[in-house]
Structure 1
């Protein structure tokens, strides 16, 4: 393996996460890029931006009722154009994601509907309010279908080198994801996901260059540089930011080890990296905390079933499966809980 191939193999570990959901890209790219493809423009997006305060006092009573949203900056809400229709912007996705971060505390996404609609109406009148609510429902349908698409497998083998067959499976997964986006969200698919699709396509092309045989280091680097040069400027900036996850991870780990709160860590991330990175961290921290609470409650009930005397192995396994299904309605959550259960069992078997 050449030096370039080795470096590419190491970079793939970070790259897979970005391709799976463009998480690093979404967290670090500015909320509205300076330029975008004509496909990303809508006839409903023709008026100038309207400034909306991040912490509108009128919104706080309803949103404040959700503990998992406490301490997180509220993204700008929906806007209407001169005709009263909803402006289709990428900021709407961030706005909806803000409410989705409370889905564990609320029980399910349907329980969020009244809260979302109440907040939408504080920003825009009809017909924009109804259009925003319909878009929210279609976004939920998109996310629900994405939950049923199998997660990506690793694109590196045991030596850290990329695997061609797995890269093709990853490409197929991204194509499936794009099809789901266009089926549920045709009016905002380009606006919300177009840049991510361009970015993912470029990163897949980089992977294919990394595994192409017969290239020396100089030619491989030349081709990789050409791919970078072909990216729009905002995406080149996002590509450069991919070098930051390790620093972000180390900052978070260090501050957690020192006992800092999520708010303190968010403030440090905002100062060192960007407010967008900080907000995404805070939302994820809230979601992680809510998940851990749910898992701890489930684990208590699981332990009771495991220690009840007189149950056959079959009955015990059935009760445990039923408990997991009731506690975690989404298949991905149930799988995560099962993985954590197995890890805990392995730790107990191995002793302290």
Structure 2
């Protein structure tokens, strides 16, 4: 679990830069009216984050950044110009004209920051998972942010994430400290827990809770529990709304596995067909993939072949 936290904490800007790589290289396009239909990857989701104002002034907070990131996550499915137009339309719908204009200017600076992350991520001195490298990477990212945002803006947009990442890195460094015995490590971990605000402590513990719940569900299914019993188990632990979302994920995963199994059978038949030469076999496989999967889903097929 801590390894997963490390990956999230120490590569905070790396993933963001990777997602925004095309921002630095994509040629300008004519402004396009945003489509009201969601991107394929966002079907079934709700817009994350939000935008609020106090009169004519914009309230800058982490929710606003989450709104930006939600729309930017469709990069690759939509052009950058289309995403910008969609963000601006969303801001206009949520805010007064003056506050919306302020938010649009902030969004443009946020895009500039994302572009700058691309160059930072290419620095070989900042690659690797060692705690010292992770600290250098986080510090470099925060220094870069100061080129685009005021101190107040930076704190409002990134303050919660910074504290979470610092806590995660402190825990990793503590666990890797060979000079401390297990008892001392537990004592210091408890001190770190006590120093966190309750909502951040809950967020840090939530992945552990879901992993434990998933293990319990797997054991229950192995013992013969049906979907209704699993729902009741989940609802008792994380609430009915979360249990319903997990049940929907189960159904989606089952449907995906069913499609994969059908694909595997058809793929095996094509590969075993002695009447096909290599060119015809390749064409048949491409037709099979195109008929059964979207462009995004076909990227996942490589893991199953």
State the alpha-carbon separation in 2 of the partners of residues 243 and 22 from structure 1: 20
Question: Do the aligned residues in 2 keep the contact of 1:64 with 1:70 (CA within 8 Å)?
Answer: no
Counterpart for residue 51 of structure 2 = 78
State the alpha-carbon separation in 2 of the partners of residues 101 and 250 from structure 1: 30
From the superposition, tell whether residues 142 and 191 of structure 1 become closer, same or farther in structure 2 (CA, over 3 Å): same
State the alpha-carbon separation in 2 of the partners of residues 94 and 242 from structure 1: 20
**Which region of structure 1 is more displaced relative to structure 2, 222-231 or 142-151?**
142-151
State the alpha-carbon separation in 2 of the partners of residues 22 and 75 from structure 1: 19
From the superposition, tell whether residues 62 and 250 of structure 1 become closer, same or farther in structure 2 (CA, over 3 Å): farther
From the superposition, tell whether residues 89 and 211 of structure 1 become closer, same or farther in structure 2 (CA, over 3 Å): closer
Counterpart for residue 113 of structure 1 = 84
Counterpart for residue 134 of structure 1 = 105
- The CA deviation at 1:198 is 1.4
- The CA deviation at 1:77 is 4.1
Counterpart for residue 5 of structure 2 = 15
**Deviation by residue 1:204-245 (Cα, 9 ceiling, x = unmatched):** 222222222332221221122112212222222222124146
More helix by percentage: 2
Instruction: Give the 3-state SS of the residue equivalent to 1:177 in structure 2.
Output: helix
Instruction: Give the 3-state SS of the residue equivalent to 1:80 in structure 2.
Output: strand
Alignment of 1:165-180 (within 5 A): 166-180=130-144
State the alpha-carbon separation in 2 of the partners of residues 249 and 185 from structure 1: 41
Alignment of 1:158-307 (within 5 A): 166-186=130-150, 187-244=152-209, 246=211, 272=238
For normalisation by structure 2, the TM-score amounts to 0.58
From the superposition, tell whether residues 85 and 238 of structure 1 become closer, same or farther in structure 2 (CA, over 3 Å): same
Instruction: Indicate the structure whose relative CO is greater, using CA pairs within 8 Å and at least 6 residues apart.
Output: 1
- The CA deviation at 1:183 is 2.3
State the alpha-carbon separation in 2 of the partners of residues 248 and 130 from structure 1: 45
From the superposition, tell whether residues 22 and 243 of structure 1 become closer, same or farther in structure 2 (CA, over 3 Å): farther
Alignment size in residue pairs: 218
Question: Do the aligned residues in 2 keep the contact of 1:66 with 1:105 (CA within 8 Å)?
Answer: no
Counterpart for residue 17 of structure 2 = none
Q: 2:72 aligns with which of 100, 109, 113?
A: 100
- The CA deviation at 1:192 is 2.2
Counterpart for residue 146 of structure 1 = 117
**Which region of structure 1 is more displaced relative to structure 2, 206-215 or 189-198?**
206-215
* Max Rg structure: 2
In structure 1, stretches of 5+ residues that fail to align are 1-10, 24-60, 156-165, 254-267, 286-306, 309-336
From the superposition, tell whether residues 216 and 20 of structure 1 become closer, same or farther in structure 2 (CA, over 3 Å): closer
State the alpha-carbon separation in 2 of the partners of residues 196 and 122 from structure 1: 27
- The CA deviation at 1:21 is 5.4
**Deviation by residue 1:104-155 (Cα, 9 ceiling, x = unmatched):** 211x323312222122212223221111111111122222222331497554
State the alpha-carbon separation in 2 of the partners of residues 205 and 219 from structure 1: 14
Question: Do the aligned residues in 2 keep the contact of 1:74 with 1:98 (CA within 8 Å)?
Answer: yes
**Deviation by residue 1:22-45 (Cα, 9 ceiling, x = unmatched):** 69xxxxxxxxxxxxxxxxxxxxxx
